[in-house]
A and B are shown apart, each in its own frame.
Chain A
């Protein structure tokens, strides 16, 4: 009797435990009876009852789940090999369909892998690389704005500006038609209907990473290097050009300054001489003969050295009196 009551008690306890189940905020639950799904899924959190031992509960996450694809090597339309790494967010929108078609999350992940990888490959390979890299054509405006930037008159800054433009517009710039965001939207739209039938709602697809495939990357790097080298050389040669320009300008300026100074000073001197001549001519013209006489005497006085030896003839005007006396 005692044993029977204990067994009964234990059975009752087990029944109480097995007859209740908890659905958490993050979950939804399906009640199954011998594998068959019963009624609507339970999506509100709380404590629930079921028939013990006969009914089973299967739980499914209600939250946003993420899918992480393997990085895929895909050739683009313009034959560039890139690695595309996509992720997606999804949720179990219809747990009944979900349970029937993919069983559980790992089943879903396998289906997502197949569907998303395929569509991603298809869409990426139908477009040029730029479509997956750029989202808009604003880059073209940026380039245009740079080219239109008014150049200042000053020499040195003019030079630097030239270099900037040269530097920034390297690589390939072509207009895009679709863009990154719309590519991932396209992947989303293409895969969505198929996934709905699996009870999966795809929320978004993100192109998490797009990278050059290793061999392409090497080529891109060497292109970048050669570009930089080209730019560096250009900068250096512009520097040398500027240097030569300044030196040339220096020579020009020096010559100009010197010759102008020479010209001006000679002009001034010439004018002064002319004026002096005219002044002399005016005043001396009154008595040219007397001026001759006077100036000659002065010249004698100035030009004959002191203590000179002088030989004079008695014929000279000064000594003629000596002769008369004799």
Chain B
């Protein structure tokens, strides 16, 4: 990797870029005014000046910082805005997107924006996303990692390929975290916990490299069983639904019949109570009536009996449709029996 050394025509190190630039201009004007070699020299001088001017300024975007090196040596870090530097590649600027939140994707790639919506592909990234779980099953985990460049100098000069290091570490750490868990936990409840632990451990390892990187967040995207196993996992979910349904149906039936039966039982009890009250009251009433009657009866038993008997008979006989009186001395009064059958 050779450094293309720009041609240098003056001493170094200069005090400030501005002074230096003024000095250059003066030297040049002296050279060309003395010689006055004609139009050719003037054209060369103008071109030279233009080149100097275009390589003397640089702008840093709002999301960036500029790391300035002079003859390869670090000078300063400049904030966003228009800046001056030494021309001809003496000063070189490395722009670092330190204010931006950068993102790495694992197990999928956002493949572009279509219809205002980001589309994703996860085809062909199974190598990244398939991992072994603690119970030696396989889970398909995809995630994103967001990071910021906290120190542009370290970012540039402490490691050659920072992004690749971040990727390698994140791939390794995610497997370590997933490797300590059961497949059931990973697919269901453990997502946040996994992301947090992965973030913590990834930062720990990244810090060892001292690359000026701060991990902002790790987010699990899709956590799935491997494609081949998916139907079986879905079947488990279906079974859960079926189980719930079966239980619900049974409970519905229970709820349909049992409360009604309770109601009927209560009804039956109430009816029994009613019967009870009825029977007892009647008995008491009858008893009380009989007591009253007997009180009076005892005063004149014979006459009362006769009276009651005669009254009753009288009542009965008056109500009858037909009364047949049979003298007990008469024999064979058969004809009536035919009549008896028909009318009652």
Contact = CB atoms under 8 A, between A and B. Distances in A.
Contact of B269 (A130, A261, A314): A261
B198 to A, nearest CB: 12
Interface in B244-272: 244-247, 249-251, 253-254, 257-258, 261-262, 264-266, 268-269, 271-272
A290 B172 CA distance: 111
B205 A204 contact: yes
Contact of B251 (A171, A180, A246): A246
Q: Is the interface of B mostly helix, strand, loop or mixed?
A: helix
A172 B183 CA distance: 11
Nearest to A80: B136
Contact of B136 (A46, A89, A135, A220): A220
Contacts of B183: 168, 170-171, 224
A217 B138 contact: yes
Given A168-B185, A239-B243, A261 B268 contact: yes
Given A24-B72, A212-B132, A243 B249 contact: yes
A265 to B, nearest CB: 3
Contacts of B266: 261
B211 interface: yes
Contacts of A294: 290, 293, 308
B25 interface: no
B226 interface: yes
A269 B233 contact: no
A307 B321 contact: yes
Contact of A209 (B175, B245, B327): B175
Interface string A32-71: 0000000000001111000000000001011111101000
Interface stretch (A107-115, A186-194, A280-288): A280-288
Interface string B302-344: 0001001110110111011111111110000000100110011
A26 B73 CA distance: 9
A215 interface: no
Contacts of A59: 1-3
Given A254-B261, A258-B265, A312-B324, A138 B69 contact: no
Given A239-B246, A249-B254, A318-B310, A268 B272 contact: yes
Contacts of A313: 325-328
B291 interface: yes
A268 B319 CA distance: 41
Interface in B2-48: 2-3, 5, 7-8, 12
B101 interface: no
**Band of interface residues on A:** 35 or more
Interface string B287-309: 11011011001100100010011
Interface in A292-316: 293-294, 297, 300-301, 304-315
B205 A276 contact: no
Interface stretch (B76-84, B113-121, B155-163): B155-163
B150 interface: no
**Band of interface residues on B:** 35 or more
B282 interface: yes
A129 interface: yes
B242 interface: yes
A25 B315 CA distance: 140
Nearest to A23: B72
B250 to A, nearest CB: 4
Nearest to A249: B254
B97 interface: no
A130 B182 CA distance: 13
Contacts of B278: 272
A290 B236 CA distance: 85
A138 B257 CA distance: 50
Interface stretch (A3-11, A116-124, A228-236): A228-236
A20 B5 contact: yes
Contacts of A63: 157-160
Given A66-B161, A246-B251, A272-B279, A46 B265 contact: no
B258 A250 contact: yes
B297 A287 contact: yes
Given A17-B5, A64-B211, A257-B262, A314 B328 contact: yes
A27 interface: yes
Interface string A239-278: 1101111110110011001101110111111011101110
Interface in B178-219: 179-185, 205, 208-209, 211
A286 B272 contact: no
A105 B181 CA distance: 39
A286 B293 CA distance: 11
Contacts of A287: 294, 297-298
B160 A66 contact: yes
A209 B160 contact: no
Contacts of A87: 168, 172
Contact of B176 (A180, A301, A306, A312): A180
Contacts of B322: 309-310
B140 to A, nearest CB: 11
Given A21-B5, A207-B172, A210-B175, 4 more contacts: A133-B134, A206-B172, A250-B253, A254-B261
| Shortest Cβ-Cβ A-B pairs, 10 listed | A239-B243, A171-B135, A261-B265, A272-B276, A265-B272, A283-B287, A276-B283, A228-B232, A168-B184, A24-B72
27 contacts: A25-B73, A46-B71, A62-B157, A89-B209, A133-B132, A134-B180, A164-B184, A169-B182, A206-B172, A224-B232, A225-B229, A232-B239, A249-B254, A250-B258, A258-B264, A266-B272, A272-B279, A272-B280, A276-B280, A284-B290, A287-B298, A290-B294, A308-B319, A309-B322, A309-B323, A312-B323, A313-B327
